[in-house]
Amino acid sequence: MERNTPISAAVCVTDIWKSYGGTPVLKGINIELLAGQVHALLGGNGAGKSTLMKTIAGLVNPDQGSVTINGNALTYASPAAAQALGLYLVPQEAHILPNQSVLENICLGLRAKPRALRDEAEALLRDLSVSLDLDAQAATLEIADRQIVEIMRGLIRKARVLILDEPTSALTPHEANALFDRVRQLQQQGVGIFFISHKLREIREICDVISVLRDGAIVLSGPLTDYDDRQIVAAMTQTAQSTELPTRIARDICFDNRDTVLDVDSFSGEGFRNISFTVRAGEIIGLAGVVGAGRSELAETLFGLRNAKSGDVRLHGNALTKRSPRDCVDAGLVYLPEDRQQNGLFLEASLAWNMSGYTMHRLGFFPKSGPEATAFDAFRTSLGIKCEGRNQEAGRLSGGNQQKVLLAKCLAADPRVLILDEPTRGVDVAARNDIYRLIRDLADKGLGVVLISSDFDEIEQLADRVIVMAHGHQCGELDGNAITVDAIAHLAFESGGHPNA
Amino acid sequence: MLDFFARNRVATLCAVTVLAFLLIGMAAPGYLSLSTASVIMSNSLVLLSVSLGTMLVILTRNIDVSSGSVLGLSAVVLGIMLNNGYGLGSAIAVCLLAGAIAGLINGVLVTILNVPSIIATLGTLGLFRGFMLILTGGNWIEELPQPLKALANNGDIGISILTVVVLMSLVAVWAFSRQTRFGRYFYAVGDNREAARHLGIPVKLVQIAAFVAAGVLAAIAGIIFAAQIGFIPNQAGNGLELKSIAANVLGGVSLLGGSGTVPGIFVGVIFLTSIDSALVFLKIPAFWNDFIAGAVLLLVLLLDGRVRIAVEKAIRAKRYAVHDPAPHPAPGTNPASEKNTRTRAQETGE
């Protein structure tokens, strides 16, 4: 595997074409990654980033063109062949073998026995400054730890080329920083890295070179220092109006006189204790904290997916005692889950059917497709869902559009309180701006919104009031202009005592 | 304790089996003897061999319901060759080959032609049985030569060559699946096929290998069957496919693929077979067999399910208890009413 060549092309992609069912996805892509380079790859949803990376990793067979890894051509699409040439793709959605141990998950497919690689794995974990039980069954891992397993797979293979597809989307800022340190180390060792991210801040932090994809073609490419953020976003989105970088829009509204729509009083359950807050009509409450702070558990308990231990929940002044998802939906409380692939969408069902997910019990014994079609078309225009039609399978949409379909599903239930759990995870800049705009519009219409996010920028931009949670406790509240990324981070990391900090 | 049984389905089943043996031994003196053990062992051989093959297929998240017919077909191939004067060695070789080819057909249907395994093997269940009947012309194969029957004779210590062969296959499959890299692939492919593909594992080859191995093991079962009863009826192996799946489930093999062990299969099969012999000792009419076997199977699975749920609950409570007290002494975050056990749980939890 070790090759002591001078700085040379680690990956060379020449004139790749690929189309799915007549729709071209990649239109003659040429891209080069040098050894020791961190190459940022940006693009909107459906721009072709994933297809391009899958082609390089041997998961997709291109119609035309060639891929060369470390000087050897990848002659046929096979992940095994690509890995043999020293490349590993760390996918955005971690692939986990639930019944195997973490160690086996990491070492699977390698020649050496897992036992022999144990020390090495432990050393790598220390470098990443994460604690992960190598003997735990992988099924018990949280989404962030699954991502760590994927990253570990790439590292332990001593790959000369790594593709990191939004590696930080599930990590805490602390873990993300440790990952970046590791990336810099690898870069020193001459490893070439493709880094896919939607966060310009991250890209600025560790990348040297940037390429922007739009509609299957590279529209901007060169050293990162040559471009400012505005140019990059403009290249991605093309249209001028959405190039505005998201900023905090202060909505100086006094909510004191508004109706209280959701009242949570000393609420305890699995993973959180003694949480109290209120949401007023039209207010966006940010629920900030790091992964594992108990926010998703709180949301799932509110929505009746988990059993509560004690405490009261009132919706519009009426006690919500019997909580099941269906009761909550009917009462006007709707939850947008964190993991859209697992809990949000019916990936193989049509978009219209997905939209009706929360309202199926209202459709009658013989659901009629007419009203459903009208409703879907309305959401399609209002939310800007890019799709072939309402009968398309949800799994074939890009991340941002899937998220919009999920939002349509929530809105179809006509909620009065909406709990959004990480609504922009794995969503590109343009779609993210769309979603931000939608959330503000909804609040303007009088909806109470609870926004759960680990992205403190996002909270800063959207929330009217912020509740910070750490280790299952409510550890602070910020209001109005006091809402800054620093203030949130201070509360989230320090008051609870972060285990790794 | 509870934890141990939840992690070890095999241990649960072992405990239940031992308990059952003791109870039956008390009710029917003379049951607990070496000769009973020898009878149970030789009665288990056919099912053991078939179940072992079925396990390999189930591990890769497929299912094989054609094994009963593969058994019949390969036994008939063996019988025809022997009765036409071929030697025992060559007849056994061709019989095993027939099983391998049958398995290969299943494997190709499932992996290359992308037929779901339940449908593909349901089809070949009929196909192989039909082919067997065509070969025999619908007649039983009788008067098998003595050398074949001799294989089933128990030696001085009550163990036949067939027993040795089956035990050796058990050990071989166990070593293969636990110790070799290719063996681990079986688990990986069944656990998450997409992940296995991403990691460069030859997913299709692994699945085909599982089907071929299942075919060969069903053929071995066919040889045992023919040697033990000395003739081959048309319905040889009928219904064994479901019995072997039951033994797999009983032995803790997940039908969703990716988990299961050879010792589990062994205990599962012994348990199922010992029910039959116990009923004889308890002087219960033979027509009760299926009813009791079914009831016991359900009972064990229910028990196992309850234990699992209890343990899962305990794990959940422990996992979320981590968040209850503040992990580091932080001022004013928490009342000081925590128990020591909690604090310890949180330390190990992190």
Question: Could you tell me the residue ranges of all domains in chain A?
Answer: 9-239, 246-332+416-501, 346-414
Q: Give the alpha-carbon dihedral of B93, B97, B103, B108, to 10 degrees.
A: 160
pLDDT over 70 (residue B344): no
% of chain A residues with pLDDT over 70: 92
| Euclidean distance between CA atoms A309 and A323, whole angstroms | 13
The answer on pLDDT for A428 being more than 90 is no
Decide which of A245 and A450 is more confident: A450
Residue A418 in this model has a pLDDT that exceeds 90:
yes
Instruction: Give how far A169 is from chain B: nearest CA, Å.
Output: 19
- What is the dihedral angle through the alpha carbons of B245, B246, B247, B251, rounded to the nearest 10 degrees? 100
∠ CA B208-B210-B216, rounded to 5°: 105
- Give the Cα separation of A22 and B89 in Å (integer): 58
Q: Give me the mean pLDDT over the A57-62 stretch.
A: 87
Q: Give the residue-averaged pLDDT of B36-65.
A: 93
Would the CB atoms of B320 and A270 count as touching at under 8 Å? Answer: yes
B48 has a pLDDT exceeding 50: yes
Which superfamily does CATH assign the domain made up of A9-239 to?
Answer: P-loop containing nucleotide triphosphate hydrolases (3.40.50.300)
Interchain contact, A497 vs B188, CB within 8 Å: no
| pLDDT at site A479 | 87
Mean pLDDT score, A71-98 = 85
Beta bridge partners of A280: A260
A305 at B interface, C-beta within 8 A: no
pLDDT for res B331: 40
Mean pLDDT estimate for chain B = 84
Q: Is the pLDDT of residue B328 over 50?
A: no
A212 in reach of chain B (CB within 8 A): no
Whether residue A122 is predicted with pLDDT greater than 50 in this model: the reply is yes
Rounded average pLDDT over A239-260: 61
Q: How far apart are CA B125 and CA A116, in angstroms?
A: 44
Closest partner CB to B191 (pick from A79, A99, A495) = A99
Give the mean pLDDT of A352-363. 85
pTM of the model: 0.75
Q: Quick one: closest CA in A to B327, which residue?
A: A497
The CA distance from A301 to A309, in Å, is 10
Q: Which of the given ranges, A41-45, B59-63, B315-319, has the highest pLDDT on average?
A: B59-63
**Tokens 């509204």 map to which residue?**
A253
- Domain A246-332+416-501 CATH assignment equals 3.40.50.300: yes
Least confident of A242-256, A471-485, B335-349: B335-349
Mean pLDDT taken over chain A: 83
Average pLDDT estimate for A63-89: 86
Q: Give the tens place of pLDDT for each residue, B140-192.
A: 998 888 888 888 887 777 788 899 999 999 999 999 998 888 999 999 999 98
State pLDDT tens for residues A142-163.
Answer: 777 888 888 888 888 888 898 9
Q: A246-332+416-501: same fold as A9-239?
A: yes
The 10s digit of each residue's pLDDT in B288-321 is 888 887 887 788 778 777 877 877 777 677 666 6
Spatial distance between the Cα atoms of B103 and B84, rounded to a whole number of angstroms: 25
Taking the Cβ of residue A79 and every Cβ of chain B, the question of whether any pair is shorter than 8 Å is answered with: yes
DSSP B212-248: HHHHHHHHHHHHHHHHHHSSB-TTTTTTHHHHHHHHH
> B255 CB near a chain A CB, below 8 Å?
no
- Which segment, B26-30, B324-328, B339-343, is predicted with the most confidence on average? B26-30
CB contact under 8 A, B200 and A499: no
CA A271 to chain centre: 22
Residue B8 near chain A (CB below 8 Å)? no
